[in-house]
Amino acid sequence: MVEESWNRHLRWVEAHTPYTKEALKKFAPPKGLALVVRFHVDLKMIPLLRDLSEKLSVKLFPCHADTTDSLGWEYLERHTDISLEKDWSYASARDFLSHKEGYLCDLGGEMITDFLERGTAIRAALEGTTSGIRRIEEALVRHPLSFPILDWNQAPLKNQIHNEKMVGFSLWQTFTEVTRLSLHGKRVGVLGFGPVGRGIARTARALGGTVAVYDPSREATVNAKFEGYPCLSRKELLKSSQVLVTATGTDSALKVKDLELLCEGAFLVNAGHSESEIDPEIRNHGSLLPVLEHVEELSCPGGNTAYLLSRGRLLNLSAGFGDTINAFDITTCQLVSEAHKRLSFLGPNLPPQLSAPALFPPAVYTLGSLDEIEPADLPWMGSERPARVQNCSLQVCPGYPSRS
């Protein structure tokens, strides 16, 4: 009975993902390719993973236990040849890719940085989050680039639909489901005004919230002002917000010392891919007490009470269903179609003039030294960057500092 019910679920996903289905029909990778992926294993990902495994060898690591559908995992175990492993293991991934044309597809950058730090050469890697790109940037300061790394987070439609529209949509839907509260009349503070932060702010305002923004980037601040948002200092935003959202792509965007600034009853919400946007001292605070499922009470210095949602994890996926199926269809379609066009042409020995064009313009890491790349070839968004990563143009929230 469970099997029959799950099959109906999969048919539902397939009925509402026509673009991905069409892209998969055209996806014809060369024989002998192997792909290690690290994804959120929720319902809408199961058909994609199943169908990819029919085209090439796949090994799967989940991003987090909280975003892994147990029935979906069981389905993949029983009905596919995917090599499944619940905990990330560099050695296991390396062994899986040995003697094969190997690729990584990562969310969060942990797989890619492990391979970089060990100097392991593979054909190429793809990263799909801002926090992951920043993690990779830090690794490239210390380690040479041994394979091309392509940023598909900046695919135009992924940015415009997933990042800028659907994260905000699903975040606030999940907020209401979890708290049983709406945003009407609430002061909402958004930390970070990149594509994700913009979508969060716009949706919150449409749902009745009074929204203010903080972003250290002058460019982002100007954009926010031109959309009509008050741009407060960081301290002012923390003190005034009844609902505070992190969307920065950086670690510890909200620090434990910030708790003393929060107003009574403030909700702490993370919309970034990494739970580390909210400091671990907050996420593991000794005063945490459960109130509702995914809602914990936290005692702040000075006597105020705050509420931490989903232990600081990405709220819309750890406590909700994330993107709608039909919207995520655009994201997975782009991933598959671009992989179809590009995978067989990427490799660790490409000359700079071939490795420089991006899979998804404008962001790409190339193998050439800075001497081999003319500045005019790249849409620079910051020149004060470590030498090994100056040829990466991505900064969704340019003013936020690199991870420390």
Answer whether 115's CB lies under 8 Å from 104's CB. Answer: yes
According to DSSP H, which parts of 16-69 are helical? 18-26, 46-53
CATH 3.40.50.720 domain range(s) in the chain: 181-313
Answer whether 213's CB lies under 8 Å from 194's CB. Answer: no
Residue 197, burial from CB neighbour count under 10 angstroms (0-12, 13-18, 19+)? buried
pLDDT score recorded for residue 350: 43
pLDDT score recorded for residue 29: 85
pLDDT score recorded for residue 153: 80
CATH 3.40.50.1480 domain range(s) in the chain: 2-157+324-389
Q: Report which secondary-structure segment, H or E, holds 245.
A: strand 243-246
Asked if the bond preceding 362 is cis, omega within 30° of 0, the reply is: yes
pLDDT score recorded for residue 342: 60
List, run by run, the mean pLDDT of 10-residue segments along the chain (404 residues): 82 94 88 91 94 94 91 94 96 90 90 93 86 87 84 79 92 98 98 95 98 96 96 97 95 95 97 92 97 97 96 94 91 80 50 34 29 29 34 36 36
- The domain covering 181-313 belongs, at the CATH homologous superfamily level, to NAD(P)-binding Rossmann-like Domain (3.40.50.720)
CA distance 276 to 274: 5
For residue 99 the two structure tokens come to 């003697």
3-state secondary structure of 72: helix
Instruction: Classify each residue of 373-404 as buried b or exposed e, where b means 16 or more C-beta atoms within 10 Å of its C-beta.
Output: beeeebeebeeebeebbbbbbbbbbebbeeee
pLDDT score recorded for residue 369: 26
Domain 2-157+324-389: assigned CATH number: 3.40.50.1480
